[in-house]
Structure 1
Amino acid sequence: MKPFQYLRPKTVAEAISMAADYPEAQYMAGGTNLVELMKRGIASPSKLIDINHLPLKKIEHRYDRLRIGALALNSDVAKHKSVLSRQPLLAQALLAGASGQLRNMATVGGNLLQRTRCSYFYDLALPCNKRKPGSGCGAEAGINRTHAIFFAGNGFGGNEKSSCIAVHPSDMCVALTALDTEVVINGTGGERRVLLKDFHRLSTLQPELDTNLQPGELVTAIEVTDNAFAQHSHYLKIRDRASYAFALVSVAAALQMDGGRIWDARMALGGVAHKPWRYWAIDLMLRGQAPSEKLFREVAEHEMQSAKATAQNAFKIKLTSNAIVAALKAATGIS
């Protein structure tokens, strides 16, 4: 680990000012991902800005939305009464991620910003466009069983070929993407908001950039607008082992039902793309329909038409299709 200067601001404005003054600085909260990257020599910030003392831990419902501070711990969010009653899909996703010990340290903001767990990214001896742009993607012709099946430009090899086939590791972000969450960001130009679907990037140009944050900007909160999905939502995570493991495929399904029919539907997929993959056509395909396995199978197969397997992960296409059907059945309560 290279030497660095440790800074501890007292206010959000002071933290932003520190980052603006030092372009190579990085913010640190729980450090569950950043510290590991620093130990491996992948991240080498000259300044480490510890934001743990900033007032960004509050979880509250106000007006028509649930606001969660960026420093709220994943474990606290998962058990908060407003989350459980209003956005249970988020609680389900958080409890499916990491381990109890890590959830007690990891923050919401850190979860948003965690980097891929691709082994080629973590091994400094192997090529990786995300770690060193232009060096090549080792996974493309290597071990790619856990890698992406959805890409920009209508699939891998489409109009916008991916320069990185790694997947986004977060469970929380998959649920939040399905719920049309807004990310609250502060910087030298003031506050701005961006939908989570636009926060993360696909890996066409500049694969080293995971998000659309500008230099020095700080995520201060996320906000989820009230919805009618609480009674019919489900997070399904499929992984190699039941304990701490990242998703091979995950599905966040959120439905509004009335009179035995579906009137609104949102879905996002995890473990299949460089960022949480939003299934945009699902609302139109399900709206006004009575739930059935046949309908859900048609919905799943429609999305899989744009999937593209690499050498070792063709199984993910069928697995994702089956996971979509299973998540929709669980959300609607049909057997």
Structure 2
Amino acid sequence: MRGLTYTIAETPDAAVAQFADAGGDARYIAGGTNIYDLMKLRIERPVRLIDVSRIEGLDTIETDGDVLRFGGRALMADVARTPIVRDEYPVLAESLLKAASQQLRNMATVGGNLLQRTRCMYFRNGAGSLSTVGVYPCNKREPGSGCAAIGGLDRTQAVLGTSEACTAVAPGDWPVALTALDATIEIFGPEGTRTVPIADFYRLPGDTPHREFNIDPGELVTAITVRKTPAGRTSTYHKIRDRESYAFALASAAVAIDMDGDSVRTAHIALGGVATTPWRARAAERVVTGAPLTPDQALRAGQAAFAEARAGQHNAFKIELGARVIADALLIAAQRRA
């Protein structure tokens, strides 16, 4: 039996020190809604869990001034029902409320949510044996072992941002909304605090798909900031999935637009469920910016977002689905303009 130590950190400095004391073979835990699953699947096998749920100041939700600031251990449910988030930034509230179940949203933190690992069936189900490699090869789980999803059952896999080493979809909803709004991530570690634009927080798989985030061992997500924008009110998170609740996206779109009459002044569009990272749809933004927003124009924007998509054996439907999700999201957002 593998030993496991549980410790509690009262400050960020204490958390980092405890991580170092474990020789780096540790994981931080707050809500625990993801790490426990990965431990049961034998994907994560730390020798120490460091509880950061009692660190004061990391659960604050600040809405004054020019930015929204969410502490890393603020709960998903609490952020979603914050009045200014609910009323002025529906894209943020909806991305949280359409994720997981109410029970999980009452426990999961917005910082931990950024670090979810993929739900690729080969990644999660391939580690069930007592071997270190597992039943199915997976480059995320065992670098260099191969990718069983390529040429395998790939209905839920990505069509954007894939590589010859990995096609696993980034699973989150909240990170997609944050990507559309150009959020910034505050990270604390041995060298102090640094900030990372969310566009640089996630890594494309390339030939190192096991390196998913630009966060170093021992670093802790302490806050997420979003600059306030008039486009926040004219926004939505539109999600299509196999069942209406408690399911991951087959395709989703986070849209925030600033309009001048019927024309789009600026557009922010990001995709989920179709890419290996939360995916900024710049091509779609260019199509709608400076033009009247009609159903045909919205669909052209969606199609532009998937111009470079690469389908596998069973997921080509995501290209058409994703384009229509963008189109629908743009029209839903436009209906919310003041």
* Fold agreement, TM-score > 0.5: yes
Q: 2:200 and 2:211 mapped to 1: Cα distance?
A: 13
Q: Where does residue 200 of structure 2 map in the other structure?
A: 198
Unaligned stretches of 5+ residues in structure 2: 128-134
Provide TM-score, normalisation by structure 2: 0.93
Task: Tell me, in whole angstroms, the C-alpha distance in 1 between the residues paired with 2:2 and 2:227.
Answer: 42
Q: Secondary structure at the match of 2:145?
A: coil
Q: Could you report, residue by residue, the CA deviation over 1:171-211 in whole angstroms, capped at 9, with x for unpaired residues?
A: 11110100100000011111110111110111113211220
Residues of 2 paired with 1:162 and 1:14: CA distance?
Answer: 41
CA distance in 2, matches of 1:325, 1:246: 20
Does the 8 Å contact 2:169/2:276 carry over to 1? Answer: yes
Q: CA deviation at 1:274?
A: 1.1
- Which residue matches 1:137? 147
The alpha-carbon deviation at position 304 of structure 1 amounts to 1.6
CA distance in 1, matches of 2:94, 2:164: 31
Amino acid at match of 2:37: E
Q: Is the 8 A contact 1:184 1:192 kept in 2?
A: yes
CA distance in 1, matches of 2:155, 2:301: 25
Matched-pair contact (CA < 8 Å) for 1:60–1:82: no
Shift of 1:39: 1.2
* 2-structure distance, mates of 1:166, 1:118: 6
Q: Secondary structure at the match of 2:282?
A: coil
Aligned to 1:238: 240
Q: Is 1:247 matched up with 2:249?
A: yes
Q: Does residue 172 in structure 1 map to residue 174 in structure 2? A: yes
Q: CA deviation at 1:329?
A: 1.1
Residue 285 of structure 1: how far off its partner (Å): 2.4
Contact between 1:86 and 1:226, CA under 8 Å: does it hold in 2?
Answer: no
The answer to which of 278-287 and 247-256 deviates more is: 278-287
Distance in 2, matches of 1:326 and 1:252, equals 11
Range 69-78 or range 272-281, more displaced: 272-281
Counterpart AA for 2:194: R
- Structure 2 partner of 1:40: 41
One-letter code of the match for 1:14?
A
Find out whether 1:13 has 2:13 as its counterpart.
yes
SS at match of 1:62: coil
Alignment of 1:1-335 (within 5 A): 2-21=2-21, 22-55=23-56, 56-123=58-125, 124=127, 125-151=135-161, 156=162, 161-333=163-335
Superimposed CA distance per residue, residues 62-111 of structure 1 (whole angstroms, 9 cap, x where no aligned partner): 32100000111101110011212332210011011101111011101110
Amino acid aligned to 2:253: V
Letter in 2 for 1:70: G
Residue in 1 that maps onto 2:132: none
Structure 1 unaligned spans of 5+: none
Query: Cα distance 1:186–1:162, how it changes in 2: closer, same or farther (>3 A)?
Result: farther
Give 2:130's aligned residue: none
| Distance in 2 (alpha carbons) for counterparts of 1:121 and 1:177 | 25
- TM-score (norm: length of structure 1): 0.94
Number of aligned positions between the proteins: 326
